[in-house]
Amino acid sequence: MIADSESGSNLLLNLEQRTYLLQQGRPNVDVKSGRGERNPCEEVEGALCERLGEEQLNGRPASKWQITLGSGEGAQKVTQWLDKQRGFPLRTLSEGGQQAEMRLLGRETLAGRSVEKWQVSVNRPEQEVVRTTQWYDPALCLAIKEIFPGGRVRELKQIELGEQSPALFVVPEGFKQVELPR
């Protein structure tokens, strides 16, 4: 994956098939300021959001939102509590009973960086709770390590900050763009 936080785009490369998928997103905010409080509908096309107030959730200040996805009979409602400092969802409740929750476990040093250790739990009706652990680097505004169910690990190592060559964000020669099926 080639992630360009300035433009908000990701290039997902399949080295075996020599293909790539372009994902366009929102440009990230200045990493020094963090994500902070935001309207969750800014990231979801066609969604309607209503701010329901503020609450403390697991000891953290959160803004509570009612999100409506779609319209008419097929509309889905989701309630979400967004961490006021970090901007990510501390809890999400869906009408169908699915719940996701993030809980801060503490602060640690990892790869020489000061990070926050978070547990993410996803609870679906009549299924086992799925838990992942992530080490979030507030200075970089991203998780530098994640442990997934089954023991799979995604981790950034030997992190060095500095200017990047624009050549690092270019699709390698000979790769063909593919689209996700809709």
What tokens appear for 117 in the block?
């250790």
Tell whether the model's pLDDT for residue 134 goes beyond 70: yes
Q: What is the mean pLDDT of the chain?
A: 87
Encode pLDDT of 16-68 as tens digits: 999 998 877 655 544 444 456 778 887 777 889 999 999 999 899 999 999 99
Tell whether the model's pLDDT for residue 155 goes beyond 80: yes
Tell whether the model's pLDDT for residue 15 goes beyond 70: yes
Q: Say what percent of the chain tops pLDDT 90.
A: 53
Tell whether the model's pLDDT for residue 175 goes beyond 70: yes
- pLDDT number for residue 32: 41
Q: Which tops the pLDDT comparison, 144 or 11?
A: 144
N-to-C CA span, the chain: 21
- pLDDT number for residue 25: 64
What tokens appear for 3 in the block?
């992630």
Return d(Cα 119, Cα 132) in angstroms, integer. 6
Q: Which tops the pLDDT comparison, 79 or 5?
A: 79
User: What is the three-class DSSP state of 158?
Assistant: coil
What tokens appear for 135 in the block?
């080490």
Return d(Cα 144, Cα 62) in angstroms, integer. 24
- pLDDT number for residue 36: 62
Return d(Cα 65, Cα 105) in angstroms, integer. 24
- pLDDT number for residue 149: 92
Contact 42, 58 (CB under 8 A): no
